[in-house]
Amino acid sequence: MASIELVDAHLHIHRSREEGRRQFESGYVIWEYGEKPDVRFSEYDGGLEDALDAIEKAGFSTPVVTNLFSLPASVDANDDVRPADLLVEFNNWACELVRPYDQLVPFIAADPTAMPGEAGAKHVREMVEKHEARGIKLHPVVQRFEMTDPRMWPVYDACQELGIPILVHSGPARGGEPYAEPRCFADVLAAFPNLTIVLAHLGGATWDQALEIARAYPNACFDCCEIIEWTGAPNAPTDAQLARLIANIGPERVMMGSDFPWYDLDRQVERIMELPILSREQKEAMMGANAIRILGL
């Protein structure tokens, strides 16, 4: 494995270990797959020092930092702080965080409530051209918008023009809203055929929708983070089903991601190598070469 360049296509870094610990203990709840008692969560909290330590120990060359932005529930039109200012501050922080570390690749956020339409597109262009952002990270479920929201279309257009990918959380929303199930990406993938959209988690608990999207839209790609740790849970595929899904999609369109600090980087290598059906060559490409090509690293 020493000769394989390992790329983590989906990693988070918190502002501090304390922030990461708080989020793990009381924030993001993984509910969609059902119960699975043997899930191996990381012991890291997820600050910068944690991430650098985990990256070095696991031998990864290129982690892609895909931090999540969402507006605080307390922010409204009467607040002194404008949502747009929060987004700009977050994206500036995300780029400055990784600037001293050549191996870290920054993705930034977009948000149709904080900065809709042309204003959002202009901000994306500025962050790419002046701050070296390399892609966009979206989480429609947490940010509460549909992919077809017209306020996002100028952002998609800017990304297509700039040649940068969008990595998007995919999976069901707890209330059943059509935010991020794979089928919800169809109209955007069709409208922007030269825009690479990465559906994270292979659709999560709606993984059974991923293949039809892959077959219809060649600009759809995927990462297999999180779902690979939950195989065998009631609403997740088995190892064999996951491997068959990847094989049918085309392993060259699927990337490894850790979703750190939820899961460990070296654990993802282990899990991919444990999958049946796929060849060693295909697995090794998923662990590095695919991300280099798909994300333009």
CATH number of the domain bearing residue 58? 3.20.20.140
Asked whether residue 2 is domain-assigned, the answer is no
Q: For residue range 187-206, what is the model confidence (pLDDT) as tens digits? A: 999 999 999 999 999 999 99
Asked whether residue 35 is domain-assigned, the answer is yes
Asked whether residue 130 is domain-assigned, the answer is yes
Residue 17 has, within 13 A of its CA and on its CB side, a CA count of 9
What's the confidence (pLDDT) of residue 21?
Answer: 74
3-state secondary structure of 196: coil
What's the confidence (pLDDT) of residue 76?
Answer: 62
What's the confidence (pLDDT) of residue 94?
Answer: 96
Residues of the chain with pLDDT under 50: 2
* Edge-to-edge strand ranges of the sheet holding 7-11: 7-11, 62-65, 105-109, 135-138, 166-169, 197-200, 220-223, 254-255
What's the confidence (pLDDT) of residue 72?
Answer: 84
Asked whether residue 1 is domain-assigned, the answer is no
What's the confidence (pLDDT) of residue 163?
Answer: 97
Number of domains in the chain: 1
What's the confidence (pLDDT) of residue 78?
Answer: 58
Asked whether residue 249 is domain-assigned, the answer is yes
List the domain range (segments joined by +) for residue 239.
7-294
Asked whether residue 117 is domain-assigned, the answer is yes
Q: For residue range 107-121, what is the model confidence (pLDDT) as tens digits? A: 999 999 999 999 999
What's the confidence (pLDDT) of residue 28?
Answer: 64
Query: What percent of the chain is predicted at pLDDT more than 70?
Result: 95
The model's pTM is 0.95
Q: For residue range 46-66, what is the model confidence (pLDDT) as tens digits? A: 999 999 999 999 999 999 999
Asked whether residue 167 is domain-assigned, the answer is yes
